[in-house]
Structure 1
């Protein structure tokens, strides 16, 4: 009888590697720390390149500057290779995060040789035991099974696969709305590139944005931008709650500083009628209407449009770990120890306490979900938090428990979560261009938005605001002009991008 030497037979290395699932920002940070500790590792990426999920929102700017987005071990590796580091205080887009940081990191010899693409993980277990068996369990290595049937032996697993591929549905009750799955052709997931690749689907059309978080806010502002240059573009904002005041931010108990960072812009869009607001609109049914779509609320109200953007958040998928012993919080889907620290009913991204391997541990030793996936359904995650998570976990795997316990995370509320850094940066650049004091463009924006509801036109509001701040009205109009083309009318969205928010923002 011949022996089985097929490609699907388990690999049996003498020193099983730590398997990292996902080659995004947190997965690659884990790889950098594993290399620094001298540990064998393998990064499994389902896609054909690094940061596949980030590429889906490459057009979006982060709300934290570079210094919060670069992992410490990754920086040391890159610096040693002569990397040209970006300015720590500038704000990258998703595309810049990939091109200027993640791709150079992945190409380093210390990382590149341990990356496997096209390797989708479909299941995990322990060698020779299922979830029920306890005897000798902790002494058995992991088996990580890929979609092609390959079994990989691992000493530990760090799951950094994220939640991008498992968005929440439109339905009010957490289930897909009736008919939702049949109308995927007219429902966009969060953060479509409405000013770029997806422009034709939204320009001159009516779009409904469902959701009240960071993703919804970005899309609403981009659609308002599009409406300035594409006549006939209509925007409706549907939210499940009975009020959007908390989405506007500025209150002491605002749980999501990211909403606060965009709050002033959203308020201006609603108050000036550029966005039609549908409050307490819980989607129950989705129906096709001609070539468009109709949303039916639980109370019988309907909204008809050409497209819908579903910006209702994300959730983790733990199905690949059903043979592992996980202890998940029944509400958030994260570890029970972490749940109280990140509960969005109690915390914002700036108030989450530092946490490491202890809070991320499961009854299954040496298995950790990190990054966005570690937070379950909580929307308070910051990239810098993921970097510190994997630093602590790798230190624990290496046996350095003093370092693993020494969890430190510098997330000053005024630095990342308490101010609109994007607005500050944009205001400063425009001030330099026109030879103004750095705070003048932001003051102009704030004064203009205060005057918009009672002004006959945006142009009138800009001129009146210019008088208030002592600025030449023609310069003010040029600052407010969105397109920069001769004769273009001032756009409120151009001003929104400069206005300091009442709350803050997060990446």
Structure 2
């Protein structure tokens, strides 16, 4: 078993960081990348400028390989675009002598299991090497074997549908040619699709913010482009961010620029709208949805950009004993740490190989895929994840357990579900719930109804004892 390599799935920032850490420990490694080059998913949004500076986007083990090859590190306080991240970091890293021979492109992992046994068999599973089915560019398949597997394949290619119920709504598949998932290059390669047209942007995250800012810039150039921003929720504090209180200045600035667009009526905002259907009339799209006041229709628009997040592709691990959080589809132990229903501060407790492992010995999910459907993953998190995982595979448990992770906070923290203590607080009162709003004038803390108490490992970040 020890003569087999550790297989890394994906040659993005976290996958290459895993490979660099394996090389640093003298372990055999093989990286399989489904795309034609490193950072294939990043290339889709390469025009977008990251809100985290270079100092947060370079893995320490990778830096050592690059510096040995004579690499000139970019200004650590500068903010790269996705394309710059590839050209100035990922591509040179993949071309180092240590990694260039272990990365294979156009090689998609389509299934993972154990050699000679299926998922049901419990006895001596750890003695059977992993078996991975690889589909090559020509469509042919082959099998490779590994002592351990690190899945850093990400979630970019499996976006959530536009439908609020987690499934495509009526018309979503029929009009797929007019719907984009992710972050189109509005000012560049995709300009012809958006210039002079009306686009509905769905979502309340940083992807939506980037698209809306680009559409506004295009509108200022041609005078005819229009954007309609639609969000499922009503609270936009997360996407607006903490401004100057955000420890990532670029992230805080992004939210404040978006807020300015709304406050100055440069884009139309419709909150609390759950998309329920799409139909066509006179060549344009009409959007049906549900609100707290009943049904509503938005129309007519020319295109839809669905910035509704991504979800992990679980099909390749069907024959493995994966342990997932039941609603986030993250690794189970990470769920309570990252659940967006409970907190949005941006700070995640330090976690490593123990939180990223499954019931399948030697298999780890890392990077944004480890977060499942939860948003706000930072590359810095992935770098520390793989450092810990590789140390565990190498048997260095002291290093594996010595996890240090301090993330820059957003400056906006929410910790309470909307149904707490008699329902949500009436706007514009700043309180976690209705009882809290009544308690505030009396100087009471929190909700005025007692702290939450739940045994581990249940989620405990509720605002009060009633909801617990």
Task: Answer yes or no: is the 8 Å Cα contact 1:247–1:260 preserved in 2.
Answer: no
| Matched residue, 1:271 | 263
- The answer (yes or no) to whether the contact 1:217–1:259 under 8 Å persists in 2 is no
* TM-superposition CA deviations, 1:197-245 (whole Å, max 9, x none): 1111111111110001110011111111111001211110011123435
Q: Which residue of 2 aligns with 1:300?
A: 296
SS of structure 2 residue aligned to 1:267: helix
CA distances 1:255-278 after superposition (whole Å, capped 9, x unpaired):
x99975433222221222210111
The match for 1:26 is 14
After TM superposition, the score normalised by the length of structure 2 is 0.83
Assess if the C-alpha contact under 8 Å between 2:232 and 2:271 holds in 1.
Answer: yes
Distance (whole Å) between structure 2 residues aligned to residue 353 and residue 288 of structure 1: 47
Per the alignment, residue 155 of structure 2 pairs with 163
Give the unaligned 5+ runs of structure 1: 1-12, 420-507
Query: How far is the alpha carbon of 1:247 from its aligned partner?
Result: 3.5
Aligned partner of 2:193 in structure 1 is 201
Q: How does 1:298-447 map to 2 (within 5 A)?
A: 298=290, 299-348=295-344, 350-413=346-409, 417-418=410-411
CA contact (8 A) 1:247 1:259 kept: no
User: How big is the shift at 1:286?
Assistant: 1.3
Give distance in 1, aligned partners of 2:382 and 2:158.
Answer: 19
Contact 2:352 2:384 in 1 (8 A): yes
Q: 1:63 to 1:289 in 2, by over 3 A?
A: same
Structure 2 contact 328–373 (Cα < 8 Å) conserved: yes
Contact 1:172 1:284 in 2 (8 A): yes
Among 62, 65, 71, the residue aligned to 2:59: 71
Q: What are the ranges of 5 or more consecutive residues in structure 2 without an aligned counterpart?
A: 413-468
Task: Give distance in 1, aligned partners of 2:25 and 2:128.
Answer: 23
Which residue is 1:186 aligned to?
A: 178
* Counterpart-to-counterpart distance in 2, 1:392 and 1:368: 11
Asked whether the equivalents of residues 248 and 259 of structure 1 are also in contact (C-alpha less than 8 Å), the reply is no
2:348/2:407 contact within 8 Å kept? no
Give the CA RMSD over aligned residues.
2.1
Counterpart residue number, 1:445: none
Alignment of 1:102-113 (within 5 A): 102-113=90-101
Distance 1:408 1:242 in 2: 35
Bigger helix share: 1
Q: Which has the larger radius of gyration?
A: 1
140-149 or 36-45, larger mean C-alpha shift? 140-149
Is the 1:240–1:280 contact (alpha carbons within 8 Å) kept by the matching residues of 2?
A: yes
The corresponding residue for 1:501 is none
1:82 to 61, 70, 74: 70
**Following superposition of structure 1 onto structure 2, how do residues 217-296 of structure 1 map, counting pairs within 5 Å?**
217-250=209-242, 261-296=253-288
Query: Partners in 2 of 1:83 and 1:364 — Cα distance?
Result: 38
User: 1:418 Cα deviation (Å)?
Assistant: 4.8
> Judging changes above 3 Å, is the alpha-carbon distance between structure 1 residues 174 and 252 closer, same or farther for their aligned structure 2 residues?
farther
One of 15, 19, 32 as aligned partner of 2:3? 15
**CA distance in 1: counterparts of 2:388 and 2:238, whole angstroms:** 34
User: Deviations for 1:431-474, whole angstroms, at most 9, x for unmatched residues?
Assistant: xxxxxxxxxxxxxxxxxxxxxxxxxxxxxxxxxxxxxxxxxxxx
